[in-house]
């Protein structure tokens, strides 16, 4: 199973809805151009879809539920952790959440993909990957983590690089 985690308001629910719209069997019934409406997740969202021959299940847990995220660590092979490039004030809290996940004994064998969301927002309204990487000391996190840690820029709203996420998940399922 893949966990989708991150602080409140980073775009996790929208990402999950977009993945479902692209890859789920019922995608033909949904409007690909419309951005799905979202509300903050209270609890969890669970979405399953198939890519090629790989069955993929993603469990999103709301950011407000961070204190009980660990209840789902046991079955997690992959962790998608999302940052919001447009919310500088949330960067430190997100980094602390990420470090707690990486140091969790239950996730020592999990792979991590860090998602830097909202690249669709105008440059002066968001951080660059270089800025965020510097603030959270991404090079140090990658170098010292026992887990495989990768990262990518995405736009959940515009569906930019969502294929990278799915390919990464599918690769870990093999």
Can you give the residue range of the structural domain that contains 107? Answer: 2-173
- Structural domains counted in the chain: 1
CATH number of 143's domain: 3.40.50.300
Instruction: Name the strands in the sheet holding 54-61, side by side, starting at the edge strand that comes first in the sequence.
Output: 44-51, 54-61, 2-6, 78-84, 111-117, 149-154
- Reported pTM: 0.87
For residue range 28-47, list pLDDT tens digits in order: 444 455 555 555 555 678 88
Residue 25 in this model has a pLDDT that exceeds 90: no
For residue range 125-147, list pLDDT tens digits in order: 999 999 999 999 999 999 999 99
Neighbours of 169 (CB within 10 A): 21
């Amino acid at each position: 199973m893949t966990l989708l985690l991150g602080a409140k308001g980073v775009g996790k629910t929208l990402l999950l809805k977009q993945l479902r719209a692209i890859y789920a069997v019922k995608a033909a019934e949904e409007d690909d151009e419309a951005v799905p409406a979202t509300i903050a997740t209270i609890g969890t969202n669970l979405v399953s879809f198939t890519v090629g021959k790989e069955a993929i299940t993603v469990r999103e847990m709301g950011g407000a539920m961070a204190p009980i995220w660990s209840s789902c660590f046991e079955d997690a092979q992959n962790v998608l952790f999302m940052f919001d490039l447009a919310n500088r004030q949330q960067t430190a809290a997100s980094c602390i959440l990420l470090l707690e996940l990486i140091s969790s004994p239950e996730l020592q064998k999990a792979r991590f993909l860090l998602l830097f969301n909202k690249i669709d927002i105008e440059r002066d309204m968001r951080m660059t990957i270089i800025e965020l990487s510097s603030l959270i000391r991404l090079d140090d996190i990658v170098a010292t983590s026992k887990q495989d840690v990768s990262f990518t820029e995405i736009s959940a709203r515009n569906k930019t690089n969502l294929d990278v996420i799915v390919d990464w998940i599918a690769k870990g399922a093999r």
